[in-house]
Amino acid sequence: MDSILVTGNGPLNGQIPIAGAKNACLTLMPATLLSEEPLTLTNAPRLSDIKTMTALLQSLGAEVSSLQDGQVQAMSSHDLTSQTADYEIVRKMRASNLVLGPLLARFGHAVVSLPGGCAIGARPMDLHVEGLEALGAEIELKDGYLHAKAPGGLKGGVHEMRFASVGATENIVMAATLAKGTTVLKNAAREPEIVDLVECLRKMGAQISGEGTSTIEIQGVDRLHGATHQVVTDRIELGTYMLAPAICGGEVELLGGRMRLVESFAAKLDAAGVSVEETDKGLKVARKNGRVRAVDVVTEPFPGFPTDLQAQMMALMCTAEGTSVLEERIFENRFMHAPELVRMGADIEVHGGTATVTGVERLKGAPVMATDLRASVSLILAGLAAEGETVVSRVYHLDRGYEHVVRKLEGVGAKIERIKGQ
């Protein structure tokens, strides 16, 4: 297994290009199942999660081809041969469950494995099921699989979600595009990836309004057609690299970044003493003097502070002046990076969903282990700011969500290399 060697090397300066959003791409790809005609995505990131979704769509009979080094993903679901998402693929990646809504809407039936436990919490699918049932689907759990059917087709309805789940919103919106009549989804998630999905569905002929607010209205249509869509910028990759100059000092411009994608996160950086400024090419982040100040963080659905940046923010708080409290409200078990950061000299106490971090002057390099995608990159950020060498093992987690991480950080002056495993 490969590992990453990071050596603390002082301030970072230069530019980092930000890729298309993994999480947007993972919901845009299943949207191809809604139409017989091809869907082409430009700006698709080169990540192992995208390969997993490709394998899942291919297992259903879709044609998927990556052109230009993965930047363009062309998909066609003309001749689907299966409506079953197998456990072997779904267990690798929870986002596989996003084929449920589209398959059910187009074919009137679908069988999708439950994802099972994952490192950051139980992550059930009850909210997806409740939403699809409100559209007239009948769903049963048998042998670990959700068996969904809607013999007479899906029908629009009014549904209020108990929690604004991102994935459930995406599944319900996709399903409702082909339902008879109008669907009103209340307490919908407002994430930019959902806005991106709706923009793509609209290009395919769907009639949707209200995306980006907590009420989305979908007027069902008989069929959707092909389209070409550019995937929105990855706000989590953006936020992660915004932390690189924050933690090491220096000034880095994140190309393609926009403030509207990271408003609440940028406000926290500002409060910590890091400047964030929008330029015509992206976002410029700088820390010129002294240590950052401790700030408290509570993770919330968008537009609140994203859970997917909590681990990276904790790495920054490890060397802040003062004590910060980080409260994780989205996932119940998402502090697995804390003991690894402690190995590097951090002072962190975790009680349930709350971590209290007292900043130390300097972290010290150590061998550490990545436990999930965002934890892995938080350890890299910590290593960049630490004295000496940090070796992060189990970096396959990193490959799920960060393309060319070594090249991007080297480009701004970091000392980082990938070490090939056996």
Q: Mention every residue, 6+ apart, whose C-beta is less than 8 A from residue 270.
A: 276
The closest alpha carbon to 179, from 153, 211, 210, belongs to 153
Which is the catalytic residue, given 25, 118, 248, 318? 118
* Interface residue with ligand UD1, options 1, 10, 116, 126 (CB under 6 A): 126
> Please, which residue, 148 or 344, has the CB nearer to ligand UD1?
148
268 marked as binding residue: no
* Interface residue with ligand UD1, options 168, 201, 297, 381 (CB under 6 A): 168
Min dist CB 126 to ligand UD1, Å, is 5
> Please, which residue, 321 or 327, has the CB nearer to ligand UD1?
327
330 marked as binding residue: yes
* Whether 118 is catalytic: yes
Half-sphere exposure of 161 (CA within 13 A, CB side): 29
Min dist CB 413 to ligand UD1, Å, is 29
Measured between alpha carbons, how far is 176 from 170 in angstroms, rounded to an integer?
A: 10
23 marked as binding residue: yes
Q: Which stretch binds ligand UD1 (CB under 6 A): 119-127, 145-153, 258-266, 283-291?
A: 119-127
Binding to ligand UD1 by CB under 6 A, coded x per residue (else -) over 269-308, reads: --------------------------------------xx
Nearest 5°: the CA angle 144, 149, 152 is 175
Min dist CB 41 to ligand UD1, Å, is 15
Q: Is 323 helix (H, G, I), strand (E, B) or coil?
A: strand
Half-sphere exposure of 196 (CA within 13 A, CB side): 27
Binding footprint of ligand UD1, residue count (CB under 6 A): 22
Min dist CB 360 to ligand UD1, Å, is 28
Measured between alpha carbons, how far is 257 from 289 in angstroms, rounded to an integer?
A: 24
Q: How crowded is residue 317: how many other Cβ atoms within 10 Å of its Cβ? A: 29
Q: Is 73 helix (H, G, I), strand (E, B) or coil?
A: strand
Written as one letter, the residue type at 211 is E
233 binds ligand UD1 (CB under 6 A): no
> Please, which residue, 153 or 304, has the CB nearer to ligand UD1?
304
Q: Is the dihedral of CA 118, 65, 44, 300 positive or negative?
A: negative
> Please, which residue, 23 or 40, has the CB nearer to ligand UD1?
23
* Conformational region of residue 154, where left means phi above 0, alpha means psi within -120 to 50, and beta covers everything else: beta
CB 55 within 8 A of CB 77: no
The closest alpha carbon to 151, from 137, 172, 140, 141, belongs to 137
* Interface residue with ligand UD1, options 44, 90, 127, 366 (CB under 6 A): 127
Question: Would you give the end-to-end CA distance of the chain in angstroms?
Answer: 6
CA dihedral 278, 279, 285, 288 (to 10 degrees): -110
* Interface residue with ligand UD1, options 3, 44, 47, 128 (CB under 6 A): 128
* Interface residue with ligand UD1, options 167, 257, 345, 383 (CB under 6 A): 167
Min dist CB 44 to ligand UD1, Å, is 14
Strands 367-369 and 182-186: unpaired
Q: Which stretch binds ligand UD1 (CB under 6 A): 69-77, 159-167, 204-212, 311-319?
A: 159-167
Beta bridge partners of 234: none
Strands 323-327 and 354-358: antiparallel
For 319, phi and psi rounded to 5 degrees? -115, 15
* Interface residue with ligand UD1, options 39, 57, 150, 330 (CB under 6 A): 330
94 marked as binding residue: yes
94 binds ligand UD1 (CB under 6 A): yes
Min dist CB 188 to ligand UD1, Å, is 11
Binding to ligand UD1 by CB under 6 A, coded x per residue (else -) over 189-218, reads: ----x-------------------------
> Please, which residue, 22 or 284, has the CB nearer to ligand UD1?
22
For 324, which DSSP code?
Answer: E
Measured between alpha carbons, how far is 196 from 192 in angstroms, rounded to an integer?
A: 6
Task: Pull the structure tokens for residue 377.
Answer: 């990159």
The helix (H) or strand (E) run that includes residue 113 is strand 109-113
308 marked as binding residue: yes
231 binds ligand UD1 (CB under 6 A): no
123 binds ligand UD1 (CB under 6 A): yes
12 marked as binding residue: no
Binding-site residues for phosphoenolpyruvate sit at: 22-23
Residues binding ligand UD1 (CB under 6 A): 23, 26, 94-95, 121-128, 163, 165-168, 193, 307-308, 330-331
Binding-site residues for UDP-N-acetyl-alpha-D-glucosamine sit at: 94, 123-127, 308, 330
The catalytic residues are 118
